[in-house]
Structure 1
Amino acid sequence: MRAFALVVLMMFGAGCVTQAERAAQVQRDVEDMVRVYGPGCEKLGFKPDSDPWRDCVLRLATKDSLEQRRDFTTTNCIGSRGFFHCSTF
């Protein structure tokens, strides 16, 4: 029983992320957005590193994120012997 409790505590401890690790992940996400969407915003006429350019980068990233989420579907099935009901969202 003690070993089980110790394993559970270790799993919870391993799942914790420090503030510095979260900040580093956010920084990597921002750098990825700038790398992916920055050139497109420049082609649209926005000057690099300006507030409208940053807004363009954020809008394009949000648009792609929403499109990916919209295309995602999931199917749930429940039932017992001889009867199943499936729903797709």
Structure 2
Amino acid sequence: MYKILLSSLVISLTACVTPSQQGEYIANHIERTFGPTCAAMGYEPGTDKYRDCKLSLYNADTQRAGSAAAGLIK
């Protein structure tokens, strides 16, 4: 439920901003949320592997949230 509320908040907040601001917000969100995990896993911030790690975790989280939302819509 938390992920759905967070996704709803992100969508509603991004509806009133420019595409550039939206991209910056999402990039900051990914860094705050997944950066510490990737750093703890040994990835060096600023490297391609670190960025790949963050994006991989973000994509997995997004898919889980989407699956959960789809289950509620049935």
Regarding TM over 0.5, the answer is: yes
**Partner of residue 51, structure 2:** 54
- Higher-strand-fraction structure: 1
Deviations 1:21-79 (A, max 9, x none): 111111111011011100000011100111000000000000000001111121xxxxx
Separation in 1, partners of 2:59, 2:44: 20
Query: Per chain length, whose mean CA-contact separation is higher, i.e. which structure has more relative contact order (CA < 8 Å, sep 6+)?
Result: 2
Please identify runs of 4+ aligned residues in structure 1 that moved more than 2 A.
none
1:47-86 equivalence runs, <5 A = 47-72=44-69, 73-74=72-73
Matched residue, 1:22: 19
Query: Which residue matches 1:45?
Result: 42
Identity %: 25
Q: Counterparts of 1:68 and 1:36 in 2: how far apart (Å)?
A: 15
From the CA coordinates, give the structure whose radius of gyration is larger: 1
Amino acid at match of 1:28: Y
TM-score by length of 1: 0.59
Query: Which sections of structure 1, spanning at least 5 residues, go unmatched?
Result: 1-16, 75-87
More helix by share: 2
Q: How many residues align?
A: 57
RMSD of Structure 2 on Structure 1 (CA):
1.5
